[in-house]
Structure 1
Amino acid sequence: MKLGGTQMKLIAINALNKHLKSFWKRPNDQRITLLTFKKDRSLTVVGIENTITIIETGYRHQTYSELTIAEAKHQFKHSFATEFPRSHNVYFEQYKKN
């Protein structure tokens, strides 16, 4: 599946932590998209100018805007547990604006 011109990778949940750590350090002009194996649920985290937006689609259709990094980390954990309750692998795409 292609989104934004890059190939989505199927990665283990454990490998996702490495990508998230780098995102939380510098979230400006970055986007992370996660999809379930069946691609029926997704979670997108967008960082623009020191604010973070989390978009949840699938079980719940919610958008959380204007979050700080601390608030975003907490909301991401909660949203991830809701959208990916039994997942061991996720499709992952990270976009960084140069």
Structure 2
Amino acid sequence: MKTITKQTALRFVKQQLKHATTVSITLLTHKKDQQVTIEKQGELFQITENGYQKETYTDLTDQSALKLLKKLLATEFPRSHQLYCQITSLRV
């Protein structure tokens, strides 16, 4: 797992989702008790929030997914400065 700063998380996710082989990205806290998972499903995205709240948001466009992710980063990781990032990609 890779660590990234919370400030660069949105930019990092946006950059990783441009790759054709990236399937999902999971952001976790240091204790790994709160997480946000972004999954690419064709042209649409699904975001699963598992922490303070447990919600699943489906059929999101890229712009709405990034906007929601920005909101969820503030909600799920209010006092975190470093996040763990786990990237799942297709095997080619």
TM above 0.5, yes or no, is yes
Gaps of at least 5 residues in structure 2 are none
Runs of 4+ in 1 over 6 A off after TM superposition: none
Of 6, 13, 31, which residue of structure 1 is paired with 2:6? 13
Q: Quickly say closer, same or farther: Cα 1:64–1:17, change in 2 above 3 A.
A: closer
Gaps of at least 5 residues in structure 1 are 1-7
Total equivalences in the alignment? 91
Paired position in structure 2 for 1:44: 37
Percentage of pairs with the same residue: 36
TM-score (norm 2): 0.85
Q: Quickly say closer, same or farther: Cα 1:90–1:67, change in 2 above 3 A.
A: same
Report the Cα distance in structure 2 between the residues aligned to 1:80 and 1:9, rounded to whole angstroms: 17
Over the aligned positions, Cα root-mean-square deviation in angstroms equals 1.9
Structure with bigger RCO (C-alpha 8 Å, 6+ apart): 2
TM-score (norm 1): 0.80
Paired position in structure 1 for 2:72: 79
Report the Cα distance in structure 2 between the residues aligned to 1:51 and 1:91, rounded to whole angstroms: 24
Residue 18 of structure 1, CA deviation: 4.6
Paired position in structure 2 for 1:30: 23
Q: Quickly say closer, same or farther: Cα 1:17–1:70, change in 2 above 3 A.
A: closer
Q: Contact 2:14–2:66 at 8 Å: present in 1 too?
A: no
